[in-house]
Amino acid sequence: MSERVVENLNRSLKALMAADASVYFIGEDVLDPYGGAFKVSRGLSGSFPERVFSTPISEAGIMGLAGGLALAGQKAIVELMFGDFIFLAFDQIINFASKSVTMYGETLPYHLLVRCPVGGNRGYGATHSQSVQKFFIGIPNLALYELSPLHDNNVWIPKLMNCGQPCVLFENKILYTQPQLGPGPVDDLFQVDFLDAAGLMARACIEPDPAGKVLLLAPGGMFHACLKAARQLFLEQEIEVQIVVPLQLYPFPAESLRELLPQYRAIHVVEESTAGGTWGAEVTATIQKIFAGNFPRPIHLIHSLDSIIPSARHLESEVLVQPDTIVKAVSGRAT
């Protein structure tokens, strides 16, 4: 059986901590045998007991602890139990960790990685289901990434840890149990390749030529919804769709897509966030900026409703973007 995303992530964290004795891991309920609410930290406390801190329920205290370790030249990974709780640590992230990189007049290297499980479709309700990415867009010295089943964490976790500024890795909870994928076929129709030398931009397509096709630009947490929609659009309506999955959400590396983007017939930026001030709006603005405001194709935003996230399955699926939401948006625009 192939590796699941949670296993890939866990393996990358173990390898990082084994290779680098300055890495600390901090979070709630992260000790074995529990190993964190989503089991991402399983085995870490057994292997590195002196560098794993299972903490009180104190997100501000946790984030400050990590910030202090980073200030002292160490490296810290924070596991938030649910992304919704990141607001309790907002001050430490915004006012301390990210500002400290440049607030004192010189650039301080800062090794801090915040892991932030997000997303719904699990019936957890309004305070355990949000996609909080949009609240962190545009913070100086704070880079945002999203877990993806197409990107190998063993490659990216060490890079994020060592990039010299605080990073947040958003992890859509539905991904943990999904298989870890990579370059090559993902099913009988779609295959995955990478668009840039760095490997930040993964693409799933039926055929590589983008000309005249529709693009779904979606972070990792939306990959499976997009893939399902893309299959349906192709099989039922003969609309050929490509899916581009950027690992890095902010700053959005639009430049690496400069050649590719105008070749599509239309672009849909897909995310699970509720409406208003979305990542998609930022992506659109960034694309327009590199094309000096004259990007020649329509860019549409697909996101969840302007609503709190309800708990009951039928209500939640009405609010959050589903594969069918994407199908309707794409086919509606395509006719």
Binding site for other proteins (CB under 8 A): 24, 50, 53, 55-56, 58, 60-74, 76, 91-92, 95-96, 100, 102-108, 251
Q: Which is nearer to other proteins, 53 or 176 (CB)?
A: 53
CB 144 within 8 A of CB 86: no
Least spacing, CB of residue 110 vs other proteins, in Å:
12
Q: Which CB atom, from 68 or from 123, has the smaller least distance to other proteins?
A: 68
Least separation in angstroms between residue 77's CB and other proteins is 13
Sign of CA pseudo-dihedral 190, 192, 196, 197: negative
Nearer to other proteins, 143 or 245 (CB): 143
Closest CA to 133 of 216, 249, 300, 40: 249
Minimum CB separation of residue 34 from other proteins in Å reads 18
- Cβ of residue 136: shortest distance to other proteins, in angstroms? 16
- Closer Cβ to other proteins, 65 or 327, answer by number: 65
E strands within the chain?
23-27, 52-54, 75-79, 111-118, 143-146, 167-172, 184-185, 191-194, 201-205, 214-217, 241-246, 248-250, 266-270, 299-302
The phi and psi torsions of 142 (rounded to 5 degrees) equal: -125, 115
Closest approach of other proteins to the CB of residue 10, in Å: 23
The Cα-based distances of 116 to 27, 95, 286, 333 in angstroms read 11, 18, 24, 34
Tell the smallest beta-carbon distance from residue 66 to other proteins (Å).
Answer: 6
What the block records as the tokens of 71 is: 């200030």
Of 69 and 244, the one with the shorter C-beta distance to other proteins is 69
In 3D, which of 332, 331, 333 has the Cα closest to residue 237? 331
Least Å from the CB of residue 255 to other proteins: 12
CB 31 within 8 A of CB 49: no
Q: How far apart are CA 193 and CA 150, in angstroms?
A: 9
Nearer of residues 54 and 307 to other proteins, judged by Cβ: 54
Between 63 and 254, CB nearer to other proteins: 63
Per-residue H/E/C for 140-152:
CCCEEEECCCCCC
